[in-house]
Structure 1
Amino acid sequence: MNQLRITRQTLLDGTLRARQREYARDHPDMRWRTDAEMAELFEQIMAEHPAGHDLWVFGYGSLIWNPAFDYEESCCALLHGWHRRFCLKLYIGRGTPETPGLMLALDKGGACRGVAFRIAAAKIQQELGLLWQREMYGGAYNARWVKLTVGDKRIQAITFVINPRHPRYIKELTTEETAALIDSGRGDLGTCREYFDNTVAHLRELGVNDAALARIAASLPST
């Protein structure tokens, strides 16, 4: 299996997009968004953003440690009404049908600490476009505007939440079942364990202790 990395370059040069198209061809039972659907969703979200203003994006998983887009600043932020959860089953990327894995998404309820990134107004079309290609093509995530708390300020940001109608969304999963899928998941983007460990380590650097992730870590075999 050829190793693939999500980087700014693989997003810009179409490498990731080509692999996404391969996934769509090889998994006809999965729901993929067309280019027209992607463009329409982009226009809908941007219709709520005032022209000429910078744009904030909220990251809660791999965007924290691998944003792969240009931004002007980043800061720790708190989101109410959504929580970070391993609720998306993977058969591609960091999983295969033989070695399925799990990916994080934002699910309704609770709260989540993550990182807010500010994209300059002049760069929104390209930089948010790169994120769009990365997050939206498979149909598992929906983009939405949310309110973040940053220090004593409130800011509006775009984030990517789970699509509860997606066939790979898992509503209920025990800690042990979650850990087993994270331990087994591996594909052409790497392993789910790598994804999990990177997320936990970078949250720790931010001073964020996610209790749910700590319970999963306690159930994972030591490396």
Structure 2
Amino acid sequence: MKPQDIIAGKTSLWIFGYGSLVWKPDFKYKRSKVGYIQGYKRRFWHGDNFHRGNDELPGRVVTLIEDDDETTWGVAFEVAGSQLEESLKYLNVRETVCGGYMTKMVDFFPEGEEQPSVQALVYIATSDNPLYLGPATSEEIGAQIAMSRGKTGHNLEYLFRLAEFMRRSCPHVEDHHLFSIEAAALTMVSYLLAAQ
């Protein structure tokens, strides 16, 4: 799905973020809401050789994997008017060009609201992408994150900010994958510091 097809005839659009967008959207928006989408799980299965890693040591960032029994929590941003085209142009570079993501429309459910879900645009890294790393143990992923740095910053910052968002904004949600990788990364950092 191309951005021009997404915005055709629309005056506003919701964009769902589940990774760095939850703390660093970097585009103008009308309002934002914490909530979730169904049928997907968030996994650190995508490589990043630009923002959070490099060609020699790619970082790990999250993508979505289809799973009927899972939900993924994040933030949806409503963009309207001129924000619509500007945000998609920006995200196309940030996500699609550098990261190899595809776009999809999903149902977003705002937290604690009785109103029905809204359609939201989401960026998903695909397994046929050259940067796609796939599954690994929490220890392996945590170690890789602890060692990786890119143009935007250290891979640890990405991990810790995402974990912080979940604890602060979704304290009732147990994200085992995320928190087990955070624990493994902290263990690796302690090991590296002790070895110095």
The TM-score with structure 2 as length reference comes to 0.85
Q: How many residues are paired up?
A: 181
Q: Distance in 2 between matches of 1:96 and 1:129?
A: 24
Q: Counterpart in 2 of 1:51? A: 10
1:184 to 2:154 alignment: no
Q: Counterpart in 1 of 2:89? A: 129
Structure 1 residues not aligned, in runs of 5+: 1-39
1:27-38 alignment, distance < 5 Å = none
Moved over 3 A (4+): none
Q: Distance in 2 between matches of 1:221 and 1:201?
A: 14
Q: Distance in 1 between matches of 2:100 and 2:47?
A: 10
Q: Which letter maps to 1:217?
A: E
**SS of equivalent residue, structure 2 residue 186:** coil
1:218 to 2:179 alignment: no
- Among 102, 122, 146, the alignment partner of 1:142 is 102
Superposed displacement of residue 139, structure 1: 5.5
Q: Counterpart in 2 of 1:41? A: 2
Cα deviations by residue, 1:8-49 (Å, 9 ceiling, x for unpaired): xxxxxxxxxxxxxxxxxxxxxxxxxxxxxxxx82223334xx
- Among 102, 105, 119, the alignment partner of 2:60 is 102
1:172 to 2:131 alignment: no
Cα deviations by residue, 1:121-163 (Å, 9 ceiling, x for unpaired): 3421112221222111136210111111112221001010122
**SS of equivalent residue, structure 1 residue 51:** coil
Superposed displacement of residue 69, structure 1: 0.5
- Among 51, 70, 78, the alignment partner of 1:118 is 78
Q: Which letter maps to 1:138?
A: C
Mean Cα deviation higher: 67-76 or 96-105:
96-105
**SS of equivalent residue, structure 2 residue 161:** helix
Q: Which letter maps to 2:167?
A: R
Q: Which letter maps to 2:134?
A: K
Superposed displacement of residue 195, structure 1: 0.8
**SS of equivalent residue, structure 1 residue 148:** strand
CA contact (8 A) 1:74 1:117 kept: yes
Superposed displacement of residue 207, structure 1: 2.2
Q: Distance in 2 between matches of 1:60 and 1:173?
A: 20
Superposed CA RMSD in Å reads: 1.8
Q: Which letter maps to 1:176?
A: E
